[in-house]
Chains A and B, each alone.
Chain A
Amino acid sequence: MSTYKIPVGPLHVALEEPMYFKVEVEGETVTGLDIQAGHVHRGIEYLVAKRNIHQNIVLTERICSLCSNSHPFSYCMALERIGGIIVPERVEYLRVVADEIKRIASHLFNVAITAHLVGFDTLFMQVMETREIMQDTKETIFGNRMDLGANRIGGVRYDLDGEGKAYLAAQLARMKAPLDEFRDLYETNGSFLRRTKGVGVLPRADAIRLGLVGPVARASGVDYDVRRKAPYVVYDRLDFDVQTLADGDVWSRTMIRLREVKESVRIIEQCLRDIPEGPISIDAIPEIPAGEAIAKSEAPRGELIYYLRTDGSDKPARLKWRVPSYNNWKGLQVMMAGCKVADIALIVGSIDPCISCTER
């Protein structure tokens, strides 16, 4: 049988962000994949070197929408490390709350899109409706549905009083019954299982070889979560299970995210219970000396690493970050080998890719 090359993308491959795939097919079967990136390269790594350290909190939050909070959060941690700033304990809890709310909304979005990609649009609508509880929560607590503007150097820019805590607890409680329902549906629905089980398989050895991270790696049995391996803020005090599955297929990646949503709900509930009274920021920001630091966090898509180098001025000498999607694209070459053309979009969606993050 002769082989053909078909272009997939750059627009509307599973999501409304541009990435161009040159797919080699033999009949209906994929035999090769070439990824062409660069459609939304915005040069943000250049821009951050032209702005001062405070302006960059605003700019880094705009690298990505679904993991927007992870960027200023990690950037602030890197700055605080260089400046020797110890943040108040209450800040550490509030930072966890903001980050986990974003994780719930991000994971549920992908879980919903996966249902849409297999043509199960009623389930898509139901999951999005439940996700809307978190969107409402963000709007109520932070004033925004996507960019929270929660972080500042040495503190946070929001607080939870008694009323706020009760509201958040009630919103989390509203999610529990639908989440259990979804778990049952995604675990047992025949048509969903037929489209996702054994599809887009990524073996553990390949996940390690390619340095994949986050739910994609954990669905292939790689037990790595930054919150556990390199704890930051108060994650070392919180009780949560790192989710792993062995099969590395589209179904496993979806289930990992669904399970992590439940863990995030648990984490926020513990924060609401344990959060101490105290200030939400340090009094004055000291001068940031020359130095360098690494800050890592577990963004919704996996390990996010920030490298910051300062020279004593108010602008970073170099600020570099690597988002989890950046590594995960390479996994597609393994996942797609031998798959059917009809599964391409589904497999692309299953790595929960973020292109604006990848290209910056």
Chain B
Amino acid sequence: MKYLQAVVAEGLKDAAPDRHKIEFRTDVKGVTTAWCVLDEKDDLLAVARFLAEGSARLSTITAYSTEKAKRTGNFEIAYHFDLDGDTLTVSVHVPPDGEVDSITSLFDNADWPEREMAELYGIKLRGHPHPERLFIDESLGDAVFDQYIPYSTMVNAATTKGLWEKVIAKGKGKGEGTP
């Protein structure tokens, strides 16, 4: 708890002075969760930088569009960091056509969660080294969480028939005959 508060309070002073709200909650076992909301999404990299220097570990990233967020058209992205057992959640708001900085340069393991939020919500990343699809097939559009997609289409290996039709179509296109 003390470690978390010291690191976070000190870091935020430089990274996002007067542009954040923070709240600490400690449970009966003495485990603390801290909740920080940044007013400016572009402060994210500076905040992530002091956390990386303070030996935080990125646990995961949650992107979401709540009912309220849907009305305003914003996405909320919550970055969950582990600091020796305590958890700090840093949230930013991103407008629908806005971009958010990739933190992969500071946290190697941000790679997969960032690609996942890009394919599920259509969030655009700035500075991701290889922003390809992670789980969702290329043939599906962006932001699948906002669409209705049948299960068989959603999974890559849809059905045997569908897979072979793709293979045959590809083979014909190359003039190699049918397999």
Contacts and interface: CB of A to CB of B under 8 A. Distances in A.
B49 interface: no
B89 A37 contact: no
A318 B62 contact: yes
A211 B107 contact: yes
Interface string A302-325: 010101010100000110111000
A183 B32 CA distance: 38
A107 B95 CA distance: 44
B155 A39 contact: yes
Contacts, number: 101
Is chain A's binding surface mostly helix, strand, loop or mixed? mixed
A246 interface: no
Interface in A25-45: 37-43, 45
Contact of A317 (B66, B87, B89): B66
Contact of B33 (A18, A45, A293, A320): A293
Nearest to B154: A43
Interface stretch (A120-128, A223-231, A254-262): A223-231
Contacts of B64: 309, 317-318, 320
Interface string B50-85: 000000011110101011000000000010101011
A296 interface: yes
Contacts of A326: 60, 112
Contacts of B136: 38, 41
Most buried by A among B58, B62, B136, B155: B62
Interface residues of A, number: 41
A309 B58 CA distance: 19
A39 B35 contact: no
A38 B137 contact: yes
Contact of B62 (A42, A208, A296, A320): A320
Given A38-B137, A305-B59, A320-B60, A211 B108 contact: yes
B5 interface: no
A42 B135 CA distance: 10
A24 interface: no
A232 B117 CA distance: 29
Interface of B: 27, 29-31, 33, 35, 57-60, 62, 64, 66-67, 78, 80, 82, 84-87, 89, 107-109, 111-113, 120, 133-137, 144-145, 149, 151, 154-157
Interface of A: 10, 18, 37-43, 45-46, 81, 208-211, 226, 229-232, 236, 292-294, 296, 303, 305, 307, 309, 311, 317-318, 320-322, 326-327, 329-330, 359
A-B pairs with the 7 shortest C-beta distances?
A: A229-B85, A322-B60, A38-B135, A211-B109, A230-B85, A318-B64, A320-B62
